[in-house]
A and B are shown apart, each in its own frame.
Chain A
Amino acid sequence: MTEIPEHLKKRAEEARAKAAAAAAGGDAPVESAAPAADAPAAAAASDSRIPAHLLERSKSAKSRSETSAVEAAAVAPTGGGVATALATAAPAATLTGPAGHTQRLLTVVKAGSIQDIKSVPVDKVHTWPHLLAVEFVASLAMLTFVLIFSIFVNAPLLELANVNQTPNPSKAPWYFLGLQELLTMFHPMVAGVTIPGMGIFLLILSPYIDRNPSNKPEDRKFAISLFTVQMMMWAILVIIGSFFRGPGFNFVAPWTTGLFFEL
């Protein structure tokens, strides 16, 4: 058994004597407070944040203390139901509570009310070899693809640039062909500046527009459909501009006239 240090024993004895003296002198206020405290306790029970099983326990303790008629023992829930104190009002020499308890429940603190635990443990693996191996294989595969494709397909090099001879049709690089396609429908300022500018701007703003916190596809049907429609529209414009536009940027069918497209 561990020995209790002398100074702690002394301090405990002093505290005990003080508590006994206080209880003897302050009997009346405790007794008068007890009935008054019952009403708010009942009201607080409905919106209480104390877990149900603790409330049950305190209620049964209360009824037991009342039936056994321990003189002036009161259960005084305070603080709107957040903190509960089982106080032994009796100036008893024994330090046990109404039902023979040796501890008091001072307060119930809800998880997260004081310390917010942010990090939930996650399943992690070592970057080496799990991630690095995947990255290595992926880049190797990409390198192989580019290399083999480059062996068999040559980059275009047409004749020397000539400012006096406009090819028909003149096309922008493929990723701008959607814009060039828009050029046939709108004023150049709208097609070339306003629409792409707005597009980039909206793209940048999308996390600030879409305030829905969920990332589950079933929760964000609207965002996903909107984005998909945009992408499809863009892809269709690029495809039309690339393959279905011939001399004079008029519509052609690539299977009859051939392709007017260089990468």
Chain B
Amino acid sequence: MALAKTMERNGKKTPSQRVSEIVDKTQGSQAWNSIFRPGSVFRKGYTDSPRNRSYVVMNSVLYHLHPVKVKRHAVKVSYTLCLGGLSFFLFILLTITGIFLMFFYRPTAAQAWNDIYTLQTSVTFGLLVRNMHRWAAHLMVLTVFLHMARVFYHGAYKPPREFNWVIGVILLTLTLLLSFTGYLLPWDQLSLWAVTVGTNMMGYTPVFGDQVRFVLLGGKEIGTDTLLRWYVLHVLFVPFVTVIFLAIHFWRVRKDGGISGPL
């Protein structure tokens, strides 16, 4: 009403009216309300109440991963040792460091090794990020493996979680594949011969061993085609498949009633 009156009086808005209009519009927008939603840490006046605790999870993307409430024993570090969560965290860390490495790397036999060398010597934090990528990769193989052992010792693969165990074994295989495909990329003596040993073994697959080896190497011998092939597998194909199985894995955890009960 007041606004209408002033508009009638002056025929145009004062600067302060314009500002307050913009503020109202912004604060009424969907983007604003999704950031400063109830339960957001950015929201003014967050109080520690059961209602707000629920909102933190319910009103954020976290709701895709966690329920609002979990069993009390499920938050005990001594039960899970955080191994599954840490494997996922390492996967994220590897994605971030891996994207950084991709800026400086070309998957050809002529350039790969030089790119890595230049990355280590002339790129800021290049050596550090490459180290992190490598060590996190080895650690991830370890944590995924220990996670599997933990699940076995708790009997958590038993009904109703048997399907999720199957997904988990697939994820273990995918983790090994991710690590192994990345192993070739530095294109040094270590990677070339480690991969030679590995793929020679796969060449002994019954009946179509030669074909398997040919598809894996993109030729009869390891060369620049192999490098391109394994690069694409390493940065796109296997991570893509892994993310899908991760989603199923996390979804199944909730569908099967949270993590397995106390022993």
Residues of A bordering B, CB below 8 Å = 122-132, 134-135, 138-139, 142-143, 146-147, 149-151, 153-163, 165-167, 170-176, 179-180, 183, 187-189, 191-193, 200, 203-204, 206-208, 210, 212-217, 220, 223-224, 227, 231, 262-263
Are the C-beta atoms of A161 and B204 separated by less than 8 Å? Answer: no
B198 within 8 A of A: yes
Q: How far is the CA of A183 from the CA of B201 in the complex (A)?
A: 9
Are the C-beta atoms of B204 and A189 separated by less than 8 Å? Answer: yes
Are the C-beta atoms of B66 and A170 separated by less than 8 Å? Answer: no
Are the C-beta atoms of A146 and B93 separated by less than 8 Å? Answer: yes
Are the C-beta atoms of B157 and A154 separated by less than 8 Å? Answer: no
Q: Given A125-B70, A158-B189, A161-B113, is A139 in contact with B128 using a C-beta cutoff of 8 Å?
A: no
Residues of B bordering A, CB below 8 Å = 50, 53-54, 56-57, 62, 66-75, 77, 82, 85-86, 89-90, 93, 109, 113, 116-117, 120, 127-128, 130-136, 138-139, 141, 149, 152-159, 161-162, 165-166, 169-170, 172-173, 176, 179-180, 183, 186-194, 196-198, 200-202, 204-206, 209, 221-223, 260-261, 263
Are the C-beta atoms of A175 and B176 separated by less than 8 Å? Answer: yes
Are the C-beta atoms of A173 and B183 separated by less than 8 Å? Answer: yes
Are the C-beta atoms of B193 and A214 separated by less than 8 Å? Answer: no
Are the C-beta atoms of A231 and B155 separated by less than 8 Å? Answer: no
Inter-chain contacts of A130 with B (CB < 8 A): 70, 75
Are the C-beta atoms of B128 and A173 separated by less than 8 Å? Answer: no
Partner of A158, one of B127, B139, B190: B190
Separation in Å of the A184 CB from the closest CB of chain B? Answer: 12
Inter-chain contacts of A139 with B (CB < 8 A): 85-86, 89
Are the C-beta atoms of B201 and A146 separated by less than 8 Å? Answer: no
Separation in Å of the B225 CB from the closest CB of chain A? Answer: 13
Are the C-beta atoms of B201 and A191 separated by less than 8 Å? Answer: yes
